[in-house]
Structure 1
Amino acid sequence: MANKPIIGITMGDPAGIGPEIVVKALSNKEIYKKVNPLVIGSKNIIEKAIEITKIKMDIIEIKEDEMNTWREKDFYFGKLYILDLNNIRGDIPFGKISAEAGKAAFEYIKKSIELAMEGLIDGVATAPINKEAIRAAGINFIGHTEIFAELTKSEDVLTMFQVDKLRIFFLTRHVSLIKACSMVTMNNIYKTLIACDKALKNLGLINATIAVAALNPHGGERGLFGTEEEREIIPAIKKAREEGIRVEGPVPADSVFYWARLGCYDAVLSLYHDQGHIAAKTLDFERTVSVTTGLPFIRTSVDHGTAFDIAGKGIASSVSMEEAIKVAGEYAKFFTSPSLRFD
């Protein structure tokens, strides 16, 4: 086996910037020093992306029944290796919601999961999909995370953002703020802390310290600014500590992410979507990577959408895609070495 992990890179929605940022990312020589990148997508769309970006590279098509053979080889810079699903006929208009594009994007993801579950690739980095296009194709999933969780039959799936030394987990994500607040319960926080600790161990962080962000200003000031800290968060932290988890908090949200970046904590549990997103994206918007934990393999993603407004123009930045591929490569070893797993 080659000494670098094979990372499957799903092409994303063909109507968005996914194909072009994949091509741009693979024009970075550093990627090939860390991983063997395999694009899972449509060859004709990738050819168009190469034309749009004006990047010179040879396309090497890999057949699925050849995958075991390719595990013994190194992939070389200047060549784009692709598993062509051949599921797009003709042109897909840029910047428009398309059922055909949504269906194709789902099929790239599904194939990446199959390959990872069979051990033919070591991890997955995903380019962006469009939720409306997925829905238009009649596919009943909200997004990437839900697809990966369902198709791998994984129950304790969490999203973790990573940027620089900062790692952020989320208690809640795609719900309204008022609903998110109602979900800040002792039981939800306790169960999530258990899952966070397990996820960090599976990423090689054995004695990690987790900080729980406070919900209210100044951590509630002993009930002066809200009772959630005293009533729900502190009891959950106490219960998690009794299980041997190293957890601190609640730490006021206006400072916890700063201290975590300095290394005081290995990860932060954010209580709602924007609480963690704002911190990560303000630190470095382009280099924020979304990591899905709790799967049988590592999955990372860019932390931006399909950018329909600039799709096909060749101007989209590939920095987040590059970072997602690198992070997948860094963590893949903990999933391919059974002795390092904490199931």
Structure 2
Amino acid sequence: MGDPAGIGPEIICRALAAMTPEQRRETLLVGDIPTFERAAGLVDASLRFGELDDAPGDDVVAVASIARPAGPIIDGRVSAAAGETAFRCVARAVECVQAGRAGVIVTAPLNKAALHAAQRFYDGHTGMLAALTGAPSSFMLLASATLSTIHVSTHVSLAEAIERVTEARIAETVRAGHAHLESLGVANPRIAVAGLNPHCGEGGIFGDQDERIIRPAVSALQQEGYTVQGPISADTVFYRAHRGEFDLVVAQYHDQGHIPVKLIAFDTTVNVSLGLPVQRTSVDHGTAFDIAWQGRADATNLSAALAYARRLARGGRHA
């Protein structure tokens, strides 16, 4: 459900209303029924909800309920109670997957300030999922129809992101992206690794990381048999991938990868977590507190994340 003070419940109900009856039967919500009922009324969706453990009928959407914490939750406002609710939803979703009751987690947006107010000090969904599942590391992939990126680092300062550009991390990122694309049926994925510095450092004039770290990492991956090129200057590599030359671009830090993908596919980009023992997709936007609970939120991005999740659940086949 995400943060209940944000647009998550609303876009979930819009997406449910647009589904086929079969898709609704395959969908398990995580949250609390009163919030979903309120959101369904807001968007004029004829939906009924029932507890998962009560075996709801075909025309009832199943809900794995969480206990709402004490404290006020105000529409469009940061609060510890809302942050704790979002955390409990993710933890319950992990439990459902680990128990075999669900195959892929799809997350509506949460608010990091609310999460921290609840004393849940994670950098977002991906870090939280890694902690809940005991995963040593994880990767963020942004997928769109014509451009997909996977990130060496994400929610850290730019200074720390530069420090995280290592041969080992680049290799792990390429391998994770390659494995994911193969799982979706992409044979021999073509991967480009973006440079870190302007023009890949211009031979060391603007920094030496591209020649000292990135190029050796790419060479080693090529020796392992991966179809990978780099470093390629970031001011051209995304354009080349968008035109079809590459299946995936490895971005060295958050904004390097996010900006081009959001520019060309803001409403349909799907956030995918890799390297975890659970599969997860997400919207690529925030809680939109400024329009929350006003009946104005668009569910296009969530519907795209749900479609991608169905594809993962079916072993890469489109559905």
The two structures share one fold, judged by TM-score above 0.5: yes
Q: Does 1:182 align with 2:163?
A: yes
Report deviation, 1:156.
Answer: 3.9
Alignment match, 1:154? 135
In 2: Cα distance, 1:241 partner to 1:333 partner: 31
Report deviation, 1:335.
Answer: 8.7
In 2: Cα distance, 1:290 partner to 1:35 partner: 24
Equivalent in 46, 65, 75 of residue 57 of structure 1: 46
In 1: Cα distance, 2:67 partner to 2:47 partner: 18
Identical-pair percentage: 39
In 2: Cα distance, 1:51 partner to 1:99 partner: 26
Name the SS for the 1:27 alignment partner: helix
CA contact (8 A) 1:203 1:334 kept: yes
Gap regions ≥5 residues in structure 1: 1-10, 337-343
Given the superposition, is the C-alpha separation of residues 65 and 156 from structure 1 closer, same or farther in structure 2, using an over 3 Å criterion?
Answer: farther
- Amino acid of the structure 2 residue aligned with 1:132: A
- Amino acid of the structure 2 residue aligned with 1:249: G
Alignment match, 2:301? 320
CA contact (8 A) 2:75 2:289 kept: yes
Equivalent in 47, 54, 63 of residue 37 of structure 2: 47
For 1:241-320, list aligned pairs within 5 A.
241-320=222-301
- Amino acid of the structure 2 residue aligned with 1:46: F
In 2: Cα distance, 1:140 partner to 1:178 partner: 21
TM-score (structure 2 length as normaliser): 0.91
Report deviation, 1:88.
Answer: 5.9
In 2: Cα distance, 1:91 partner to 1:56 partner: 26
CA contact (8 A) 2:79 2:114 kept: yes
In 1: Cα distance, 2:2 partner to 2:12 partner: 9
Q: Does 1:217 align with 2:207?
A: no
In 1: Cα distance, 2:72 partner to 2:162 partner: 45
| CA deviation profile, 1:108-136 (whole Å, cap 9, x unmatched) | 11111111112111111100111121222
Given the superposition, is the C-alpha separation of residues 214 and 90 from structure 1 closer, same or farther in structure 2, using an over 3 Å criterion?
Answer: closer
Given the superposition, is the C-alpha separation of residues 212 and 30 from structure 1 closer, same or farther in structure 2, using an over 3 Å criterion?
Answer: farther
| CA deviation profile, 1:284-338 (whole Å, cap 9, x unmatched) | 11111100012233200111111111111111111111111111111122399xx
In 2: Cα distance, 1:227 partner to 1:29 partner: 51
CA contact (8 A) 1:199 1:294 kept: no
Alignment match, 1:208? 189
TM-score (structure 1 length as normaliser): 0.85
CA contact (8 A) 2:12 2:299 kept: yes
Gap regions ≥5 residues in structure 2: none
Name the SS for the 2:315 alignment partner: helix
Equivalent in 293, 312, 317 of residue 331 of structure 1: 312
Given the superposition, is the C-alpha separation of residues 194 and 29 from structure 1 closer, same or farther in structure 2, using an over 3 Å criterion?
Answer: closer
